[in-house]
């Protein structure tokens, strides 16, 4: 026997069937919304479980919860900044760090190593620190926000306000495979960086940011930089870059070894003596 047909002979769906279909649609939409909420909760929980940030202080700034604001204020208080250089420009050794602001390994380096570097090497005048940005995450992950992120950092470097922004950003870094570094989000982070005006943050490329990007890219190519973070030490006045194989553990020793190679201040002020890059 043929089962009864639920449709009317004129081809219209019965009211009971239409109501059931609408209920199923509402249930599906509700389930999808629940999944979205759960994903957001999981991502937020994961960020708080990050071993590099889980113990950081949390501060609400302009209605936005940010990690690392207090740590950043203490770390950079009283340390001179000049563009992308941190510390005494006449220090006997300059540490050169090649970094990608979306790179998780760079985040670990910034939050684990940089506080000790600043405390024992930069504040004491044993070394200065210069950062160079290169984009390695976007090409590998298929994202596109890394270039704007570098532009924002370079724009603040022109105002000698970059370093606190970079540190707060690493505390609140998003996933490397997602595009999270829009101008609005970066301005939220900048609001927590001491001395930084969020209105100064811009992801737009300018002739000045393009020149900085090209300069850092050329230096990275010259030194054979393939990954981030990559760190070199340069004795004052020499243009000689020594690769630090394990910057997480050996940076202090590398600075100590490079210090005797530094040119006297008078020679350094006259200009570097160009020699081959050490690898």
Residue pLDDT, tens place only, 218-269: 999 999 999 999 999 999 999 999 999 999 999 999 999 999 999 998 665 6
Domain count, the chain: 1
> Is a pLDDT exceeding 50 seen at residue 2?
no
Q: Which two tokens stand for residue 56?
A: 């950081």
> Is a pLDDT exceeding 80 seen at residue 277?
no
Residue pLDDT, tens place only, 117-174: 999 999 999 999 999 999 999 999 999 999 999 999 999 999 999 999 999 999 999 9
Asked if the structure places residue 180 within a domain, the reply is yes
Cis peptide before 229 (omega within 30 of 0): yes
For 95, phi then psi, to 5°, come to -90, 130
In this prediction, residue 16 carries a pLDDT of 54
Q: Which two tokens stand for residue 36?
A: 């979205």
Q: Measured between alpha carbons, how far is 174 from 151 in angstroms, rounded to an integer?
A: 17
> Is a pLDDT exceeding 90 seen at residue 15?
no
The domain spanning residue 207 has which CATH number? 3.40.30.10
Q: How many percent of the chain have pLDDT more than 70?
A: 77
Asked whether the CA dihedral 215, 221, 222, 228 is positive or negative, the reply is positive
Average pLDDT, the chain: 86
Asked if the structure places residue 243 within a domain, the reply is yes
What is the domain extent for residue 114? 58-270
Asked which of 70-74, 87-91, 190-194, 272-276 is least confident by mean pLDDT, the reply is 272-276
Asked if the structure places residue 104 within a domain, the reply is yes
Q: Measured between alpha carbons, how far is 162 from 153 in angstroms, rounded to an integer?
A: 6
Q: Measured between alpha carbons, how far is 276 from 279 in angstroms, rounded to an integer?
A: 9
Asked if the structure places residue 37 within a domain, the reply is no
- In which residue are the tokens 């020793």 written? 253
Cβ burial of 93 (10 Å; 0-12, 13-18, 19+) is buried
Residue pLDDT, tens place only, 18-63: 555 666 656 544 544 443 334 334 444 444 457 788 899 999 999 9
Q: How many percent of the chain have pLDDT more than 90?
A: 75
With cut-offs at 50, 70 and 90, classify the pLDDT of residue 109: very high
Asked if the structure places residue 6 within a domain, the reply is no
Asked if the structure places residue 27 within a domain, the reply is no
In this prediction, residue 254 carries a pLDDT of 98
Asked if the structure places residue 276 within a domain, the reply is no
């Amino acid at each position: 026997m043929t089962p009864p047909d639920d449709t009317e002979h004129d081809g219209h769906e019965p009211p009971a069937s239409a109501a059931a279909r609408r209920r199923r649609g509402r249930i599906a939409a509700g389930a999808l919304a629940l999944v979205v909420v759960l994903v957001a909760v999981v991502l937020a929980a994961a960020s708080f479980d990050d071993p590099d940030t889980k113990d950081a202080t949390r501060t609400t700034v302009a209605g936005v919860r940010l990690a690392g604001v207090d740590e950043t204020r203490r770390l950079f208080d009283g340390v001179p900044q000049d563009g992308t250089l941190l510390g005494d420009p006449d220090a006997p050794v300059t540490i050169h760090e090649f970094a990608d602001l979306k790179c998780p390994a760079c985040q670990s380096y910034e939050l684990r190593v940089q506080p000790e570097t600043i405390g024992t090497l930069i504040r004491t005048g044993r070394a200065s620190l210069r950062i160079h940005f290169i984009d390695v995450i976007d090409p590998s992950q298929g994202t596109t926000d890394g270039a704007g992120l570098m532009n924002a950092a370079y724009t603040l470097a022109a105002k000698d306000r970059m370093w606190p922004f970079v540190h707060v950003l690493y505390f609140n870094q998003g996933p490397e495979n997602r595009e999270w570094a829009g101008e609005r989000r970066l301005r939220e982070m900048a609001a927590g960086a001491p001395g930084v005006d969020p209105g100064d943050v811009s992801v737009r490329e300018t002739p000045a940011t393009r020149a900085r990007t090209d300069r850092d890219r050329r230096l990275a190519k010259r030194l054979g930089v393939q990954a981030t973070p990559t760190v070199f030490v340069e004795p004052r006045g020499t243009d000689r870059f020594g690769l630090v194989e394990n910057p997480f553990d050996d940076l202090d020793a590398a600075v100590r070894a490079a210090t005797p190679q530094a040119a006297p201040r008078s020679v350094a002020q006259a200009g570097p003596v160009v020699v081959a890059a050490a690898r």
